[in-house]
Amino acid sequence: MYPPKKTLTRLCLRKLAASSGQLLIVDDGRDNGNCFQWWMSFFSGYEYFGSASTLMECALGMAATQFPLCFRPNSPKVRLVTVHCHSISLSASENSPTGLVERPWKLADARLVLEDGSVWRAKSFGASGTQIGEVVFNTSLTGYQEILTDPSYAGQFVLMTNPHIGNTGVNFDDEESQQCFLAGLVIRSLSISTSNWRCKETLGDYLASRNIMGIYDVDTRAITRRLRQDGSLIGVLSTEESRTNEELLKMSRTWDIVGVDLISDVSCKAPYEWADSTNSEWEFNFNRSNEETFQVVAYDFGIKHNILRRLASYGCKITVVPSTWPASETLKMKPDGVLFSNGPGDPSAVPYAVETVKELIGKVPVFGICMGHQLLGQALGGKTFKMKFGHHGGNHPVRNIRNGRVEISAQNHNYAVDPESLPEGVEVTHVNLNDGSCAGLAFSQQKLMSLQYHPEASPGPHDSDLGHRVLAVVDGARGVAVMALGRTKGNIQCSKSEATRKSIPSSASPSAVLA
């Protein structure tokens, strides 16, 4: 065995040798010369009675794999005790001759290399390999499974600021799409156990089966501060030891997410009908009326399932179409309204989508969410810009300018609409209270409205869903705008959670509902 470093161990060995009469040390031969010198000095005052050849080999560092070192005190003893010691590797592999399992803790085996030159050592879980993406931080306390399956995170590493992730495992009811689109997950502490009655799989197994890389035991607070100070950074995540830090750094500095069409990879390839509504166990809108069914066409730029569920819960018949679906084909379907969904990346990278939006504005009532909001802004003649580090989390306060109400919203976007670039007649209806950015638009003349955040997400309270959300349709016979509410004859009814209900005349503009 290697020389013990703890004082208590040394004292125990000396007492054992003194009381037993002799002590036999069997060493594994690694670094024999140094090891032998230590044992000889350790048992100074004791007599060595082993083999002379072994003594010479030990002194020269040439001993075999295992060798005995025998000591006894100078004073005679009757008792004889032999102690066999040998060294082992705590990280022994399956092929190790010791037959021991791996140590109970995992060593750092992954690196996150950022374009600013910083290298972050971490432990891996999920898939292995090398991946590149833009690093963003998310401040949500819960909902990591919805984040993993949100198509808007395509091309990004999501760093969770909440330190404890994985404790509720994963289930198949909370998924927002059929697969994970993000590049990787970065967390501080990976839960070693799961505790939730709906749990079907651990987070690590879930990511591994979907080929998504994850790392933990990394200083997420330090990385978050860096992102807030310098803005979102490109990073490379790798578990391949053959790749040098310099090679990974070069990769991060030669890749860019700006101007890349990420929508094409997350959009559906053909139209389909959606019928599933919110499960009755989770439904909170009990004031809806389904006497009439609204025909809605939803453009899939990376649409989340819960948007479709909420639409269906309000009595909508939904047809989901690909991002490249022609506007002319949509008009042939004669929908009551068109929804432009959320999606990943830069709205300027998808000019075909902007043109589609332009062709539909004014011909049919439209509603945009997140990416759809940005596309509407560009289609109206406005400009969008890339934010420093974006909005990612379930706790962003948004103020409704028309009535002063503040909502706690879920957000996920790196781009925003510049309100100063919008033409006359377009109204900014909502403002993010963290930085004053535009969070909602309305244009009554074009029967148009949009939100930068996710009204379907319910990040705790349901105030973003109730009152003016998700659906924009028009009853062609009377011109009544209905905004994600229960619909009554000749008026629009507000949320049941409001203390007093307001009736809006059928001639009211869509933007009036926002009040």
- Annotated catalytic residues are 370, 454, 456
Which of 129, 103, 101, 109 has the alpha carbon at shortest distance from 216? 109
Contact 161, 185 (CB under 8 A): no
Q: Phi, psi at residue 294, to the nearest 5°?
A: -100, 135
What's the one-letter identity of residue 1? M
Q: Phi, psi at residue 72, to the nearest 5°?
A: -150, 150
What lies within 8 Å, CB to CB, of 236 at 6+ separation is 112, 113, 130, 131, 132, 248, 249, 251, 252
What lies within 8 Å, CB to CB, of 244 at 6+ separation is none
d(CA 132, CA 256): 10
What's the one-letter identity of residue 437? S
Residues recorded for the chain: 515
d(CA 354, CA 348): 8
Contact 188, 220 (CB under 8 A): yes
3-state secondary structure 445-479: HHCEEEECCECCCCCCCCCCCCCCCCCCEEECCCC
Would you state the structure tokens that stand for residue 79, as one six-digit string?
A: 């008792």
What's the one-letter identity of residue 477? A
CA dist 194 to 136, 198, 199, 213, 261, Å?
Answer: 26, 10, 7, 20, 37
